[in-house]
């Protein structure tokens, strides 16, 4: 078995026994990157020199008997989190030359836990997309079928884990951007509660929706990553001072007597039959483990897409106003005055999808329309959150599909934004409500494409997600296939 194909906890055991070194693990991962990256394009930038130096430090720590939770573990970072001295582009031309002077809090936390950073993962431009096709640096491909998308916007982070180009990775989730690509690439992905993981150093898309979370090869690794990432950060205004448990303690606990909410609004016409069958099978596994399925309703689900595509673009319009060619990033040349520089910089620096969302958001916030659009959407968002509050009075967790279909072909939906937006139909509500969600592999389509089941829990109940996910993962025993790269 190649080192790059192992999990965090398997590699930790080998490191503790002295059977491998951190350098050997790093070299194994970079050899894998050399072999498959040209096909998959998971990365915008590799950090090999930095990684080998971090691996050397990890080996020195191990010799002193200091083994941290992620010592020597190669991790990929979505190119939306700031890395001191290393370019952070957000997949956009407008930031192609931006080098942050500081690290994001999650980068500091992972570094403190001993992680080795492989590189910056590809993504949809400014996290706006569901397929990683809007990146200025070109699309990422799904390791399971190179003609298909890996999901988005964290497609590079998901495909890197699926293709064994890292052991774990970091993504961000604004409307499903961790869970959707996790499902389509056959890995585990978690969006924590809003405020559970610091957003300091995360380049903003929609500030009331964005959340950072992990991609991993199994549920135990997800718990290990959450232990490293979670916690209060005084530098970040929306970070919540809540106790952080040891997430590994939830693994393997039984779920006998748990009530599993099945929302009727998520099982409707339009779901791919293979997805529906796989999720129904997952529900039967959960029942066999002691869970009781109960029907619940989330009545405002039908408004989620409309609410999201007012709130998210409105916040993006505000956040992206800072990219003007003056302070940092791309600056248009050959202009006559400041106004022309602003216009030309933004015209040349942003891609079509980002421009589309800025225009939608600016319109929604404009005088005379603010109350009708953004104000009304915020009111309906409160109703969506109330739906979940009521549902969790009756059930412990909610079970849904993660995506309506398996991965679609590259280019299939690029000319139809609405069809692209519908890819996130089952994940958007979680961000609007601020609750945690998790996607876990639940099988394969007849064409051999991965499928995912989604678990949702109440605020700050990530432990419950890990508990049911670990029980499900063990009982379902989904076949351990690898992409034929």
Q: Which of 153, 154, 429, 470 is catalytic?
A: 153
> Which is nearest to 440 in space by CA: 214, 198, 118?
214
78 annotated active-site: yes
pLDDT at 268: 80
| Measured distance CA(302)–CA(294) in Å, rounded | 21
Q: Which two tokens stand for residue 407?
A: 């991965």
pLDDT at 250: 98
pLDDT at 14: 97
Q: Which of 28, 78, 130, 191 is catalytic?
A: 78
Tell whether the model's pLDDT for residue 194 goes beyond 90: yes
Structural domains of the chain, ranges and CATH numbers in brackets: 3-253 (3.90.1300.10)
The kind and range of the H/E element at 117 are: strand 116-121
Is residue 229 within 8 A of residue 448, CB to CB? The reply is no
pLDDT at 461: 98
Tell whether the model's pLDDT for residue 269 goes beyond 80: no
List pLDDT tens digits, range 55-85: 999 999 999 999 999 999 999 999 999 999 9
177 annotated active-site: yes
List pLDDT tens digits, range 452-475: 999 999 999 999 999 999 999 999
List pLDDT tens digits, range 294-323: 999 999 999 999 999 999 999 999 999 999
> Which is nearest to 279 in space by CA: 290, 142, 268?
268
| pLDDT, average across residues 28-41 | 98
Q: Which of 92, 154, 177, 445 is catalytic?
A: 177
List pLDDT tens digits, range 413-440: 988 888 888 889 999 999 999 999 999 9
Q: Calculate the average pLDDT of the chain.
A: 96
318 annotated active-site: no
pLDDT at 418: 80
DSSP 190-246: EEPPTTTB--TTBPPSSTTT--EEEEESSHHHHHHHHHHHBS--TT-TT--------
Q: Which two tokens stand for residue 26?
A: 């790093």
Q: What is the DSSP letter of 126?
A: G
Tell whether the model's pLDDT for residue 91 goes beyond 80: yes
pLDDT at 421: 86
Tell whether the model's pLDDT for residue 407 goes beyond 90: yes
pLDDT at 377: 97
Residues pairing with 444 in the sheet? 450
| pLDDT, average across residues 265-289 | 94
- Pinpoint the alpha helices (H) of 366-416: 376-391
Q: Is 141 strand, coil or helix?
A: coil
């Amino acid at each position: 078995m190649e080192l790059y194909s192992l999990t965090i906890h398997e590699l930790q055991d080998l490191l503790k026994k002295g059977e491998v070194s951190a350098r050997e693990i790093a070299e194994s991962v970079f050899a894998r990157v050399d072999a498959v990256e040209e096909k998959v394009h998971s990365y915008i930038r590799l950090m090999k020199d930095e990684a080998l130096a971090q691996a050397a430090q990890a080996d020195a720590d191990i010799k002193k008997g200091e083994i941290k939770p992620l010592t020597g573990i190669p991790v990929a970072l979505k190119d939306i989190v700031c890395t001191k001295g290393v370019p952070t582009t957000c997949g956009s031309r407008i930031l192609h030359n931006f080098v942050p002077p500081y690290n994001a809090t999650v980068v500091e936390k992972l570094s403190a836990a001993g992680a080795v950073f492989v590189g910056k993962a590809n993504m949809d431009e400014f996290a706006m997309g569901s397929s990683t096709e809007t990146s200025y640096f070109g699309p990422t491909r799904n390791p399971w079928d190179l003609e298909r998308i890996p999901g988005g916007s964290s497609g590079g982070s998901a495909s890197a884990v699926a293709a064994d180009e890292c052991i774990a990775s970091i993504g961000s989730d604004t409307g499903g951007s961790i869970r959707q690509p996790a499902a389509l690439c056959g890995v585990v992905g978690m969006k924590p509660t809003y405020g559970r993981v610091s957003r300091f150093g995360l380049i903003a898309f929609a500030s009331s929706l964005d959340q950072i979370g992990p991609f991993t090869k199994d549920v135990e690794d997800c718990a290990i990553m959450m232990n490293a990432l979670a916690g209060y950060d005084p530098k970040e205004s929306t970070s919540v001072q809540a106790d952080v448990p040891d997430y590994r303690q939830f693994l393997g606990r039984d779920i006998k007597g748990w009530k599993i909410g099945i929302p009727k609004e998520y099982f409707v016409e339009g779901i791919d039959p293979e997805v529906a069958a796989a999720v129904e099978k997952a529900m039967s596994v959960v029942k066999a483990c002691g869970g009781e399925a109960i029907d619940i309703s989330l009545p405002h689900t039908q408004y989620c897409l409309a609410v999201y595509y007012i709130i998210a673009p409105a916040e993006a319009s505000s956040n992206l106003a800072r990219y003007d060619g003056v302070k940092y990033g791309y600056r248009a040349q050959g202009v006559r005055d400041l106004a022309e520089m602003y216009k030309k910089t933004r015209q040349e620096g942003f891609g079509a999808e980002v421009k589309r969302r800025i225009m939608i958001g600016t319109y929604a916030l404009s005088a005379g329309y603010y109350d009708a659009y953004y104000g009304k959407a915020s009111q309906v968002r409160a109703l969506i959150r109330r739906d979940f509050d009521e549902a969790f009075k009756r059930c412990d967790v909610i079970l849904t599909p993660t995506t309506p279909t398996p991965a679609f072909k590259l280019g299939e939906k690029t000319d139809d934004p609405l069809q692209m937006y519908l890819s996130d139909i089952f994940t958007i509500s979680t961000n609007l409500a601020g609750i945690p969600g998790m996607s876990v592999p639940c099988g394969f389509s007849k064409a051999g494409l991965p499928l995912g089941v989604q678990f949702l829990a109440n605020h700050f109940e990530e432990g419950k997600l890990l508990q049911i996910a670990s029980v499900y993962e063990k009982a379902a025993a989904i076949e351990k296939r690898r992409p034929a790269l």
